[in-house]
């Protein structure tokens, strides 16, 4: 078995090294970061991973053509994290939707004027029928789909970029780097919040180890941190965008806010073409005041997209305004984060809509399935759009993309959409096709036998074995004698 090490030789360079005991740690304990000191160890040349940097047979170290070429592997990791965010969130919401469908709580007393308890044979209300439970869970079904769909678009861009990198072309690298930074930090954060919200929505049983969610959360949460949270920007004047740096053709490895400021600059001066996922700024900078919703519906995809475009553009314009007032870049972290979020939420909506539009041409979808699939995905896309407007309402209102008297309409549409989603919630999550083995949850069993699942899991707990009970009783007797 072989271990891949990153070590400082001439530069940071990956190579392969064999060591029995370290292998064992990896096998036994999962992923660990270890510091290893080498003393007179020779790494065979064939063990050097020489995709871009090379070592000649004479031992000469040759730098890659561009020093950013190896950044491609960081982008790879982020692309997979965006995809994983969708699937892990899907896993939690599958368990929660199944359990809240099975679980019943409270019911209407038989006599409206009496507070006596209801007859034992009356079924209580399904937990999933409560509006607050729907409002908590269903947006995460939509978000799981949205993240998975967006990750396929990003993966396509990434593969194109990789093909170009193989030819040592770095044109796409800056754009894909910025895009994946935004999606990764936003997506993993939202997914972790969603997993915990699913646990809370299941009440007391959600905290049980048998729910499977507590372990999922503990395993998932580090993804928020690794590969960066994008909340810290370097406090450097050098990095502050200036007209000179806007014109620079070399790829700058900026996070998404600096990328957006450059795109805004391009749109303002009309000097260069914007990228496919940012050219909405060209349209949106020409708007002013609140969006006119009097002749259109919040369920119109074009209207939804316009709202997200206008809001994102104005958040970036606010950031640019703050930069112009001379505030230090390090002092603008919060505004940068807001710009990153607004753009990312737009990108996800855009990807989702394009995927739905392109279904007819998708060779993986049978002709007969397109209509039904499109209807369901459209519902999920609406739900993503409106629940995002609702959760980011402060941003839509403060940029005057929406005005306060639109809020009731947003709430009404969202409520109708949640009601409309209810009959589909179980099939929508079944469609993730997780096996019971993979879900590892007594509450989220495919057959809906949550309580049987809990009972079986409790019986299988070593603490309930005969041996343990006997032992506990013996120790208890000693304890009782000692106390008395």
Question: DSSP assignment, residue 326?
Answer: T
End-to-end CA distance of the chain: 58
**Residues 278 and 263: beta-carbon distance below 8 Å:** yes
Q: How far is residue 16's CA from residue 51's CA, in Å, rounded to a whole number?
A: 14
Nearer to a copy of itself, 148 or 317 (CB): 317
- Report, in Å, the least distance between residue 424 CB and a copy of itself: 19
Nearer to a copy of itself, 22 or 49 (CB): 22
- What kind and span of H or E run contains 264? helix 256-269
- Report, in Å, the least distance between residue 403 CB and a copy of itself: 8
The footprint of a copy of itself on this chain (CB under 8 A) covers a number of residues equal to: 76
Nearer to a copy of itself, 190 or 350 (CB): 190
Residues 1-20 that bind a copy of itself (CB under 8 A): 1, 19-20
Residues 89-108 that bind a copy of itself (CB under 8 A): 105-108
Residues 199-238 that bind a copy of itself (CB under 8 A): 200, 203-204, 206-207, 214, 218, 221-222, 224-226, 229, 231-238
Nearer to a copy of itself, 221 or 299 (CB): 221
Q: How far is residue 104's CA from residue 123's CA, in Å, rounded to a whole number?
A: 8
- Report, in Å, the least distance between residue 18 CB and a copy of itself: 8
Residues 336-365 that bind a copy of itself (CB under 8 A): 336-337
Q: Please report the DSSP string for 205-247 in residue order.
A: GGGSGGGSHHHHHHHHGGGGTTT--S------GGGS--HHHHH
Residues 422-481 that bind a copy of itself (CB under 8 A): 463, 469, 472-473, 475-477, 479-480
Query: Binding of a copy of itself at residue 247 (CB under 8 A)?
Result: no
Q: How far is residue 129's CA from residue 122's CA, in Å, rounded to a whole number?
A: 16
Find the largest Cα–Cα distance for the chain: 94
**Residues 150 and 113: beta-carbon distance below 8 Å:** no
Phi (first) and psi of residue 420, to 5 degrees = -65, -30
Residues 12-71 that bind a copy of itself (CB under 8 A): 19-25, 29
Please identify, among the stretches 156-164, 168-176, 334-342, 369-377, the one whose residues bind a copy of itself according to the rule CB under 8 A: 334-342
Tokens coding 422? 């209810």
Query: Binding of a copy of itself at residue 393 (CB under 8 A)?
Result: yes
Q: Is the dihedral of CA 201, 204, 207, 213 positive or negative?
A: negative
Contacting residue, 30, 40, 115, 437, with a copy of itself by CB under 8 A? 115
Query: Binding of a copy of itself at residue 407 (CB under 8 A)?
Result: yes
Residues 116-155 that bind a copy of itself (CB under 8 A): 125, 127, 129-133, 135-136
């Amino acid at each position: 078995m072989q271990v891949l090490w990153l070590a400082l030789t001439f530069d940071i360079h990956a190579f392969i090294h064999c060591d029995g005991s370290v292998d064992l740690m990896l096998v036994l304990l999962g992923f660990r970061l270890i510091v290893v000191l080498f003393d007179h160890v020779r790494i065979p040349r064939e063990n050097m991973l020489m995709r871009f940097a090379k070592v000649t047979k004479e031992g000469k170290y040759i730098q890659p053509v561009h020093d950013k070429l190896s950044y491609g592997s960081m982008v790879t990791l982020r692309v997979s994290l965006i995809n994983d965010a969708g699937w892990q969130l899907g896993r939690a919401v599958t368990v929660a939707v199944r359990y809240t469908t099975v679980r019943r709580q409270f019911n209407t007393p038989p006599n409206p004027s009496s507070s006596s308890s209801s007859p034992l044979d009356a079924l209580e209300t399904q937990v999933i029928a409560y509006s607050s439970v729907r409002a908590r869970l269903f947006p995460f079904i939509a978000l799981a789909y949205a993240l998975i769909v967006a990750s396929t678009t990003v993966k396509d861009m990434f593969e194109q970029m990789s093909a170009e990198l193989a030819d040592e072309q770095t044109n796409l690298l800056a754009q894909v780097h910025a895009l994946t930074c935004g999606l990764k930090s936003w997506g993993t954060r939202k997914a972790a919040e969603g997993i915990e919200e699913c646990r809370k929505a299941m009440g007391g049983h959600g905290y049980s180890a048998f729910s499977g969610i507590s372990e999922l959360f503990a395993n998932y949460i580090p993804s928020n941190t690794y590969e960066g949270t994008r909340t810290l920007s370097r406090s450097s004047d050098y990095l502050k965008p200036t007209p000179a740096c806007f014109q620079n053709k070399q790829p700058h490895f900026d996070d998404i806010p600096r990328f957006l400021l450059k795109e805004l600059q391009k749109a303002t001066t009309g000097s260069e073409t914007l990228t496919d996922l940012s050219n909405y700024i060209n349209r949106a900078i020409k708007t002013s005041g609140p969006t006119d919703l009097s002749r259109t519906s919040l369920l119109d995809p074009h209207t939804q997209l316009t709202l997200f475009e206008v809001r994102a553009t104005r958040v970036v314009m606010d950031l640019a305004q703050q930069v112009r007032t001379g505030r230090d870049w390090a002092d603008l972290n919060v505004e940068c984060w807001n710009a990153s979020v607004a753009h990312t939420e737009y990108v996800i909506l855009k990807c989702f809509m394009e995927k739905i539009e392109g279904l007819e041409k998708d060779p993986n979808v049978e002709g007969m399935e397109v209509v039904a699939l499109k209807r369901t995905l459209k519902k999920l896309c609406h739900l993503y759009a409106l629940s995002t407007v609702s959760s980011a309402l402060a941003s839509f209102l403060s940029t005057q993309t929406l005005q306060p008297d639109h809020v009731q309409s947003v709430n009404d549409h969202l409520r109708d959409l949640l009601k409309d989603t209810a009959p589909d919630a179980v099939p929508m999550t079944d469609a993730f096709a997780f096996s019971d083995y993979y879900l590892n949850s007594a509450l989220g069993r495919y057959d809906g036998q949550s309580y049987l699942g809990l009972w079986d899991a409790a019986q299988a707990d070593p603490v309930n074995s005969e041996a343990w009970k006997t032992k506990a009783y013996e120790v208890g007797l000693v304890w009782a004698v000692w106390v008395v």
